[in-house]
Chain A
Amino acid sequence: MSKEPVAVVGIGQTKHVAARRDVSIAGLVREAARRALDDAGLSWADVDAVVIGKAPDFFEGVMMPELYLADALGAVGKPMLRVHTAGSVGGSTALVAANLVAARVHGTVLTLAFEKQSESNAMWGLSLPIPFQQPLLAGAGGFFAPHIRAYMRRSGAPETIGALVAYKDRRNALKNPYAHLHEHDITLEKVMASPMLWDPVRYSETCPSSDGACAMILTDRTGAARAPRPPAWMLGGAMRSEPTLFAGKDFVSPRAGRDCAADVYRQAGITDPRREIDGAEIYVPFSWYEPMWLENLGFADEGEGWKLTEAGVTELDGDLPVNMSGGVLSTNPIGASGMIRFAEAALQVRGQAGEHQVEGARRVLGHAYGGGSQFFSMWLVGDRPPDS
């Protein structure tokens, strides 16, 4: 049997900021959805189903918010699914929505992910103690710093690599009007002089807490033919999960990430990702994860990822630009961050990325991960339909 090709014909984001006090959660998501519909030249009535994602409900203090958001997202009378796969959720949500189209269950699907972190405190949302388990009171940085140190030791990467990534991503963010952090006076020296939070992760090498939403309109061949702007076509998509903690786990390069990328490349017919892929939006919440994921995703051999970063390959004008939008390091509405990666990849192949557009981008990877580096979701989008 054959799958229906899936096209991205509409993308909408909010301007991501520390606190959107002017809108409710419903107002925030509606803003992104409305922009995606406008981009696709569609109205609410054209949407057959809604698939919504966000990270833990405790972040806003609303249990199963899809119930409350049904009206705001025009879902009344329609199917509505709520996906939750930790930090990878934005990507997984898009893939669940894509499956509805691929399976020919629905023709046009609105998918959306959000986080309104200012409604509560994410640190506390992650720190509800349960018996016999260590609460994550140090935040995510405390969890990931030891794995970064393991990477540095294993690869022999110089200590400056993390700062180079942060400096690049924050400069890229200046070209993205939706990015949260717009640090016009950023310099490499400032990044390196910022306070140490979780050795070796400095303040300027970590992601902010953002309010924001991202929406996409996914549709079938017929819908794509009617789209006013060029669609992005899904060439491959996959999810992989592995356990949080076990003796054989490689936190530096988890096998679930490698398997997930391999599945996506197989679907898309990619045999040499470094040459055949024109850019990547990779989930990098702490700067050192750029070189780590470059290896995990097959763009560099083991221990070599940092060399791409150091050589400027991942710069906006480099040979494999990474996080052209400024990435998670510049914008982090947690539940939406994965979908923003997926959407930014689609913007690139549609030629709609504005100032941070990579010239001639034809195939771009969107990547998300979550939990203790245990959940992965990815898609590869292109400027042409699959098998053409």
Chain B
Amino acid sequence: MNLDSLLPNLGEWLRGTGPESDVVVSTRIRLARNLADLPFATRATATHKADVIRLAKEAVAKCGGAHPLEYADVQAMSPLDRQFLVERQLISRELASGLDGPRGVAFDPTETVSVMVNEEDHLRLQVLRSGFALDEAWRDIDRLDDALEQRLAYAFHTQFGYLTACPTNVGTGMRASVMLHLPALGLTKQIDKVFRALQKINLAVRGLHGEGSRAFGDLYQISNHVTLGKSEAKILDEIREVIVTIMQYERQARAALMKERRQAEHDRVARAIGTLGSATMITAEETMELLSAVRLGIHLHLLDGIPVTAVNQLFIHTQSAHLQKLAGHALGGEERNTARAKYLKTRLRDLDSHK
């Protein structure tokens, strides 16, 4: 597969138009599944892994759906292509560079559905959707799971449920996560309070790039921790309830910002756009911080002429593998900062002229 064909497009999940998209960027559900008669990754030989891939490819090819999934061999890929798929959220960092041996990913052209093969579990099914869409994501992944199960014998235990390589995933094997943009809670210094409350109720909070990563650009992922002893519907209900509450807090904080310091916020947003459009060198981190201000500015109507989709595109295209693909060759750290600034300047000028 030539991944360059993905470059001009944006995955469906980055449309920026789903339900509650002023706060919720995207919804993702993952299911961990293993095949009954093959050892888990730590015990699997290259032959076992090749067997998993063969079986998975056959099942994926026959599982139909509106958009067929196409398989890409991650082991054979360049490090740049692997990073590119990580930035598009189609594969995990682990599958990209934390593992050896035969492994891959099948995904559809809209980048809504993907199936990682030979990650920590034999299969990791994933559905990604724009906005707050837990029910839709569950419906899609449940259907995909049923279709795959017709052709694959899953490792399932009547007491423990779907068996996984790590006991933290056993049972439903389901991890649902919702990515939130919470700039106003950050600005009003309430974010830590919210997260302390979340940890008490056993939900995990992470930055954009998963475990331990700092929340650049005010983006946070909230996901369930428990996978055993509750039904999928119950787990999703619990997350939903919490997300609804956090959305309320964020919107209240936004309303307070507009009431108490509208002029200062307007200034901050204007400066962010100014810097993005005029810098000659800029890091990925600074870009994310500034785009966060722009995104908030759009939702607070402090800024017009820039659609949220364009902000999302800037956000993806200014990450390092995307920049290098756009440039057509590898770039060092400093070169990346220059290329990023140039890209931002050009894109913002285009948007401005289309107003």
A, B co-complexed: no
**Chain B residues within CB distance 8 Å of chain A:** none
